[in-house]
Amino acid sequence: MTPELIQYLENIRYNSKLNRADETELISELETHIEDKLRELTESGLSPEEAIKTCLGEMGSTRLVARQIYEAYSQGSWRQVLMASLPHLLFGLLFALNWWQYPFWVSVLLVLTLATAVYGWWHDKPTWAFSWLGYSLIPVLAVGILLLYLPKGWSLLALPLYFPLALWWLFRIIVQTTRRDWLFSSLMLLPLPIIIGWFLAVSPTGKLTEFNLPRVYGFAPWIGMSFIALALTIGAFIRVRQRWLRIGLLAASGLSTLTLVVYYTTGRLNTPTFLGLVMVMWGVLLVPPVLERYLRSGRGIIWRHRKPPRPGLKQAA
Amino acid sequence: MVPRHDLVKGSSNSLLLCLLEQQPMYGYQIVKELEARSQGYFRFKEGTLYPALHRLEKSGLVTGKWQMLPNGRQRHYYYITDKGLAKLAQERTQWRDFLNAVRLILQPGTSGP
């Protein structure tokens, strides 16, 4: 394989955003096709350089092939729609039904979220896993907030230890998700600005007290509605094939849900806080693609992680 | 006038299923076979064959299997499934009806099959 051919396959691999198994299969297929084509062209009398140029011309642009591959694989089943929307729906129902006040149901939901996120993470990271992964970050934030309530000396001791560790863990998750596809990082982080928005609306000082509880009661139906709106968006996200449409859905949903938060919390969120939240939302949408570009520049090419020949390979008759 | 590549795109599923009905094939073989049987009419960017094949595979109309050839080379062969055969039969009927209707308009006076 010459550098041009390696680059051609690498561009298709990078832009088609498949999981590791499908990616290996596709690249192996294209590689054998190119080998056959080059053999035919050189046997017809072309020089190796001419053969490569003709071959790549006849294969078509990497963007076109990768886009069609992406669209062939991107549409999820209705089961995947359910799995991806479920965490948003469950959190929505938790507030819509006012079950957030029962520690039992909150614990059940958090354990279920963590368990599903871990299961998805270790089982080839299907698209639905990233919705759960986003909510599994809530306990990390919650522990950080709880540390504020420790006696002053302990709080000063624990916070400098906890926050770097939590940030490091969060960064590792984001990097690994972005390596698969930056869009999944945005999908995963999408609820965070909305959760932060509601939290600041309930507790502008950042500390939860018994005085904040009536506010949670007041906002609960709207909190529930904002999560249910997210569930509907994520359902549509899983079904659409086109990447630009998926990006548009996340952007529109994030910003409209944030607007809904501000609308129903009139007087609680001031303009700088709202602008801060909008910036966080744009960060959720813009930082992952920038991070992906950065990671790609330092990432090894496909040949370093190619799998050995498939098990169960049969001898053709 | 409808561009030729649009005609190929619109009928790619039927063409691929029809070829695979006759024998299992791998990608490069399919390109060559399409070109030979259509006397060069069906020429397209070869890389775009794979999205079409993978789409058929995702829909359960074909299934792929890696095989080792006697010369030691590996090929990813595609086989048509029962679902693919049923789909092909359905598409053949649609094509026949369509062609018959076109003939009735372009060549008035000729009767249908």
Name the residue of chain A whose CA is nearest to B46's CA. Answer: A59
pLDDT of the residue at A39: 92
Domains along chain B? 4-106 (1.10.10.10)
pLDDT grade, residue A83 (50/70/90)?
Answer: very high
Distance of alpha carbon A225 from its chain centroid, rounded? 22
Higher pLDDT, A309 or A121: A121
pLDDT of the residue at B2: 45
Using the predicted structure, report yes or no on whether residue A304 has a pLDDT greater than 50.
no
| Chain B interface, Cβ < 8 Å to A | 26-28, 45-48, 50-52, 54-55, 58, 64-70, 73-77
Handedness of CA A127, A129, A135, A138 (dihedral sign): negative
Record: contact A32-B45, CB cut-off 8 A: no
Helix A78-96, helix A103-122: angle, nearest 10: 160
Average pLDDT, chain A: 85
The average pLDDT across B100-110 equals 82
pLDDT of the residue at B5: 58
Quote ipTM for the complex. 0.83
Helices (H) and strands (E) in chain B, counts: 4, 3
- Amino acid in position A195: I
The average pLDDT across A154-163 equals 76
The average pLDDT across A189-204 equals 84
Higher pLDDT, B1 or A62: A62
Here the tokens at position A226 are: 């904002």
pLDDT grade, residue B84 (50/70/90)?
Answer: very high
Record: contact A32-B68, CB cut-off 8 A: no
Residue by residue, DSSP assigns A60-94 as --HHHHHHHHHHHHHPPPHHHHHHHHHHHHHHHHH
pLDDT grade, residue B10 (50/70/90)?
Answer: low
Question: CA of B1, closest CA in chain A: separation in Å?
Answer: 24
Interface residue of A13, A27, A30, A33 to substitute, partner B, most B CBs within 10 Å = A33
% residues pLDDT > 90 (chain A): 43
Q: Which of A145-149, A242-246, A310-314 is the most confident on average?
A: A242-246
pLDDT grade, residue B86 (50/70/90)?
Answer: very high
The per-residue pLDDT for range A218-228, each reduced to its tens digit, is: 888 889 999 99
The average pLDDT across A135-149 equals 78
The average pLDDT across A147-156 equals 73
pLDDT of the residue at A153: 72
The per-residue pLDDT for range B18-62, each reduced to its tens digit, is: 999 999 999 999 999 998 888 888 777 888 899 999 999 999 999
Name the residue of chain A whose CA is nearest to B32's CA. Answer: A37
Q: What is the DSSP letter of B72?
A: S
Using the predicted structure, report yes or no on whether residue A303 has a pLDDT greater than 60.
no
The average pLDDT across A274-283 equals 86
Closest CA to A138 of A162, A170, A97: A170
Q: Which residue has the tokens 């070829």?
A: B19
The average pLDDT across A62-90 equals 93
A37 and chain B in contact, CB less than 8 A: yes
Record: contact A32-B75, CB cut-off 8 A: yes
Question: CA of B103, closest CA in chain A: separation in Å?
Answer: 34
Closest CA to B56 of B25, B24, B23, B12: B12
pTM for the model stands at: 0.81
Closest CA to A196 of A286, A92, A277: A277
Residues of chain A neighbouring B78 (CB-CB closer than 8 A): none
pLDDT of the residue at B76: 94
What is the CA angle A14-A15-A21, rounded to 5?
A: 60
State the Cα–Cα distance between residues A257 and A252, nearest whole angstrom. Answer: 8
CA count, 13 A, side-chain hemisphere, A209: 6
The average pLDDT across A99-121 equals 89
pLDDT grade, residue A312 (50/70/90)?
Answer: very low
Least confident window among A84-98, A125-139, A268-282, B92-106: A268-282
Nearest to B51 among A25, A36, A72 (CB): A72
Q: Which residue has the tokens 């035919």?
A: A40
The per-residue pLDDT for range A15-35, each reduced to its tens digit, is: 999 888 888 899 999 999 999
Other CB atoms closer than 10 Å to residue A61's CB: what's the count?
16
The per-residue pLDDT for range A33-74, each reduced to its tens digit, is: 999 999 999 999 999 999 999 999 999 999 999 999 999 999
Record: contact A72-B46, CB cut-off 8 A: no
Record: contact B45-A36, CB cut-off 8 A: no
- Amino acid in position A117: A
State the Cα–Cα distance between residues A193 and A212, nearest whole angstrom. Answer: 20
pLDDT grade, residue A313 (50/70/90)?
Answer: very low
Strand partners, A228: none
Other CB atoms closer than 10 Å to residue B37's CB: what's the count?
13
Q: Which residue has the tokens 């899983």?
A: A238
Higher pLDDT, A114 or B6: A114
Record: contact A59-B46, CB cut-off 8 A: yes
Nearest to B68 among A12, A69, A316 (CB): A316
The per-residue pLDDT for range A168-191, each reduced to its tens digit, is: 888 888 998 998 899 999 999 999
Record: contact B67-A316, CB cut-off 8 A: yes
Higher pLDDT, A3 or A300: A3
Residues of chain B neighbouring A17 (CB-CB closer than 8 A): none
A9 and chain B in contact, CB less than 8 A: no
